[in-house]
Structure 1
Amino acid sequence: MFPLIFFLCSFLSLFLLPPSNIAAVSNHNKYLKLPLLRKSPFPSPTQALALDTRRLHFLSLRRKPIPFVKSPVVSGAASGSGQYFVDLRIGQPPQSLLLIADTGSDLVWVKCSACRNCSHHSPATVFFPRHSSTFSPAHCYDPVCRLVPKPDRAPICNHTRIHSTCHYEYGYADGSLTSGLFARETTSLKTSSGKEARLKSVAFGCGFRISGQSVSGTSFNGANGVMGLGRGPISFASQLGRRFGNKFSYCLMDYTLSPPPTSYLIIGNGGDGVSKLFFTPLLTNPLSPTFYYVKLKSVFVNGAKLRIDPSIWEIDDSGNGGTVVDSGTTLAFLAEPAYRSVIAAVRRRVKLPIADALTPGFDLCVNVSGVTKPEKILPRLKFEFSGGAVFVPPPRNYFIETEEQIQCLAIQSVDPKVGFSVIGNLMQQGFLFEFDRDRSRLGFSRRGCALP
């Protein structure tokens, strides 16, 4: 039943939300290449773990069989620690805002203010719809309004009134809340070529009421909103996808380097020039249609395949389990039985002394004092996915410095009965990841990030 519901939802969404109109973009532009930004100071590994755990707990609460018209579009971005930002210019004349790029959510939303005299607001902190000539609130009977959650006390929709606007509201696990008007607006994106792409009628949430730590505290890291890149019909990737090949990709570079190299979000066929992409099918979880699920089959340590029951990686009838690729989670999380096998195998093969004291939250730490290149002797992990795709990240993607001369295994356990395994953004660093939504597949390549 659930697969049928999900198919119908996806099919109907093609008609409920037409693709955004593109203006001021050359026909030679096959894709948009947008710089991804990081903001310092970065959280410590222990802080990152706490924020990741909170995020995954929140995301796990969303797996419920909910009818299509009440489909949740709650963002998990605010509960994450590994945020990458996109500079989005919205309105005419454009107002610049930093949004968290998040593959774990669908909704695009920004902080808004209805002020007329806005001198008490700092520039580039909120969107002022009154200052834009192209701001257009969605009507409550507009089909797109059916795709967002409504306040408990939403006004009754009056089909005859022009100003019966579409209200939305959604909350977080800690009680944080954002609500406002669902609207359409012209947005402008700065691309790496220096040209500006202007996109008309992008649907987004204009949040006038924002409260709580998840959307205004330190975990939100000064963001002005969220750019949802999930699989739902109102995500940024879905709205622009059909104009640009219905795919997007990104390269997340090591932000601890100085100076940090630039990471990119690419909307469209930017990864087509990569000589060798390894592909694995994207799976559908009817109870979590937003997330990008893949099937992890095997884990290897120094070439030795670990004995892990294949059922550990399956999605059960309640929507639990499985493996998600997520840009908003920093660390990697493995189903608890698999995690035990991995940490035991790594511990047996590590050739460095175990640290005298563990960094809080981490189960395996080593002392790298006097070792020039510890990555040369740390155990090597390899992940095999469905379809034969093999992912071999370097040790720096899963061993991180938590204290001076101490490195810890940046993999955590998760209960598969209430959660799912996660390939976080640290594990993804240095690889091009391509989300091909038309072919329902995920591609990755170590070489892709070397593209100009």
Structure 2
Amino acid sequence: MLLILFVFFSSSFPFSSSSSPSYLKLPLLPSLPFPTLQQALAIDSLRLSSSSSLSAPIVSAASSGAGQYLVSLRLGSPPQPLRLVLDTGSDLLWVRCSPCRDRCRRRRRRRRRPSFFPRHSSSFSPFHCYHPLCSLLPPLSPSCSRSPLHTPCRYKYSYADRSSSAGLFSRDVLSPGGPGPGSLSFGCAFNVSAGPEFSSAHGVLGLGRGPISFSSQAGKPYGNAFSYCLPDYTLSPPPTTYLLFGAAAINASLSAARLRSTPLLSSPLSPTFYYVRVLGVSVGGVRLRSVPSSVWALDPATGAGGTIVDSGTTLSFLPERAYTAVVEAMKRRLGEAALAPGPPGFDLCVDSSAGAAAGGIRVPKLSFRLGGGAELSPPARNYFIEAAEGVRCLALQPVGATGAGFGVIGNLMQQGFVLVFDRDGSRLGFAYTGCSA
């Protein structure tokens, strides 16, 4: 079943419009199979523990293939199809590259390692090491040789799980789903160290707020706004939705009263991230007054605290005080008889074999109050997910478990919501649609 994302916009939430009527629409699919809860926790913990160090590159869980969503696009002349991991928590767009000609290409195909072939593209060009964009990347030392006239921009990203992406920062022609091609800057990685789970993706599509991200680049020709809806990974076959760029297209298609908005915050010490202001949390319709708004606050001076929206993290992470209060409130409402043992690292699991709601029993409603008067109220399947046959667990973790200094709204919590990132207006719009037409 193919479900195309048609999102409609309310006049109360207009985007900063672009003079260009063009748009960009890229297919979006979950990578399958999704990981178990324990696998997701292990990989998310690596990602966030590295992200807590402000001087380190942002870690994408894509390097280990954890529950991610893939974007399809075409790059080069003639166009080569690519599948990249959608990641709002990092900036660098990189693809696995191959120096091969035809014979080598056939050998690579037998190994089933998806690659982009720059030697097959007449429009491919690496940046020079003295190009201003090169200074925005972690360099391979020395970044420029004694003959700088012929030295390309070399980079290396190293990740917390010991995976890495290294190669040439380059540009080529993007063949989009909308009208008109455009030039795309990206990391052409000739040396990628990653686990076998990453074998189905060509690389990572960084959608962060930095100048080299795909969202910053696409903002120039298509309007500084983008939208996506992450479909439920349990659906089979998985539906197709779209990553949509273009303020004009979004203004023309987003609707109605269902769309809510909240301000996007930023931290000068973590400029990549899309922060939202969380003011409180409710369980079963009852606000947890033991968790004041200060628990969620972002300190702009230190970069500590706050909550980010991250498509590259699977689970969601709450400040420890908020997490403890949520678990305790859930247990009181569920009752001891409903609880069940679960995998290590998860504090609340239920026996889901006897009923219908949330796969077995009726779980309390979880909702978050956000800045601007918006409320995020996901369905139970977004935060209670299957850990084993007849057992579902709360897909939340405390921030203290990873050492990171901020909360995260991960991709499981985002499932089924249209999310609209208005970068010029610094707002996030959202509405639950189930990603249906």
Give the C-alpha shift of residue 425 in structure 1. 0.8
Per the alignment, residue 260 of structure 1 pairs with 238
- Equivalent runs, 1:352-371 vs 2, <5 Å: 353-371=337-355
Mapped pair 1:172 → 2:150: no
> Could you report, residue by residue, the CA deviation over 1:268-311 in whole angstroms, capped at 9, with x for unpaired residues?
23543221321111111111111111111000111111021322
Distance 1:338 1:396 in 2: 20
Mapped pair 1:222 → 2:200: yes
**Which amino acid in the other structure matches residue 172 of structure 1?**
Y
Distance 2:351 2:204 in 1: 39
Does the 8 A contact of 2:261 with 2:427 survive in 1? yes
Distance of aligned partners of 1:121 and 1:198 in 2 relative to their CA distance in 1, 3 Å threshold: farther
Per the alignment, residue 279 of structure 2 pairs with 297
- Equivalent runs, 1:143-162 vs 2, <5 Å: 143-156=132-145, 158=147, 161=149
Per the alignment, residue 255 of structure 2 pairs with 274
Give the C-alpha shift of residue 54 in structure 1. 1.7
Does the 8 A contact of 1:75 with 1:107 survive in 2? no
> Could you report, residue by residue, the CA deviation over 1:214-249 in whole angstroms, capped at 9, with x for unpaired residues?
xx2034353111111000011111001132220111
Q: 1:37 aligns with which of 19, 22, 29?
A: 29
> Could you report, residue by residue, the CA deviation over 1:121-152 in whole angstroms, capped at 9, with x for unpaired residues?
11871111111100011112222222222112
**Partner of 1:439: helix, strand, or coil?**
coil
Distance 2:336 2:180 in 1: 53
Count of matched residue positions in the alignment of Structure 1 and Structure 2: 406
Per the alignment, residue 339 of structure 1 pairs with 323
Mapped pair 1:142 → 2:124: no
> Could you report, residue by residue, the CA deviation over 1:296-355 in whole angstroms, capped at 9, with x for unpaired residues?
100011111102132221223432221010001111110111100010011111258334
Give the C-alpha shift of residue 76 in structure 1. 5.1
Per the alignment, residue 54 of structure 1 pairs with 46
Per the alignment, residue 426 of structure 2 pairs with 440
Does the 8 A contact of 2:76 with 2:122 survive in 1? yes
Distance 1:354 1:429 in 2: 25
Give the C-alpha shift of residue 257 in structure 1. 1.6
Q: TM-score, normalised by structure 2?
A: 0.87
Give the C-alpha shift of residue 383 in structure 1. 0.5
Give the C-alpha shift of residue 442 in structure 1. 0.8
Per the alignment, residue 382 of structure 2 pairs with 397
Distance 1:374 1:228 in 2: 33
Does the 8 A contact of 1:75 with 1:106 survive in 2? no
> Could you report, residue by residue, the CA deviation over 1:152-177 in whole angstroms, capped at 9, with x for unpaired residues?
23233655x2x321111121123322
Distance of aligned partners of 1:179 and 1:81 in 2 relative to their CA distance in 1, 3 Å threshold: same
**366-375 or 329-338, which deviates more:** 366-375
Does the 8 A contact of 2:29 with 2:238 survive in 1? no
**Partner of 2:245: helix, strand, or coil?**
strand
Distance 1:399 1:74 in 2: 26
Does the 8 A contact of 1:77 with 1:104 survive in 2? no
Distance 1:448 1:370 in 2: 25
Mapped pair 1:449 → 2:435: yes
Does the 8 A contact of 1:308 with 1:341 survive in 2? yes
Does the 8 A contact of 1:73 with 1:149 survive in 2? no
Mapped pair 1:183 → 2:166: no
Give the ranges of 4+ consecutive aligned residues of structure 1 lying more than 6 Å apart after TM superposition: none
Does the 8 A contact of 1:137 with 1:165 survive in 2? yes
Does the 8 A contact of 1:271 with 1:448 survive in 2? no
Give the C-alpha shift of residue 75 in structure 1. 4.5
Distance 1:409 1:334 in 2: 12
Does the 8 A contact of 1:39 with 1:221 survive in 2? no
Unaligned runs of 5+ in 1: 1-26, 67-71
Distance 2:173 2:202 in 1: 17
Distance of aligned partners of 1:361 and 1:197 in 2 relative to their CA distance in 1, 3 Å threshold: farther
**Which amino acid in the other structure matches residue 33 of structure 2?**
P
Per the alignment, residue 11 of structure 1 pairs with none
Distance of aligned partners of 1:143 and 1:183 in 2 relative to their CA distance in 1, 3 Å threshold: same
Distance of aligned partners of 1:373 and 1:170 in 2 relative to their CA distance in 1, 3 Å threshold: closer
Q: TM-score, normalised by structure 1?
A: 0.84
Give the C-alpha shift of residue 28 in structure 1. 5.4
Per the alignment, residue 12 of structure 2 pairs with none
**Partner of 2:343: helix, strand, or coil?**
coil
> 1 or 2 for the larger relative contact order (CA 8 Å, sep ≥6)?
2
Does the 8 A contact of 1:352 with 1:367 survive in 2? no
Q: 1:310 aligns with which of 275, 285, 293?
A: 293
Q: Percent of counterpart pairs with the same letter? A: 52
Mapped pair 1:429 → 2:411: no
Give the C-alpha shift of residue 199 in structure 1. 2.9
Distance 1:226 1:201 in 2: 17
Distance of aligned partners of 1:186 and 1:352 in 2 relative to their CA distance in 1, 3 Å threshold: farther
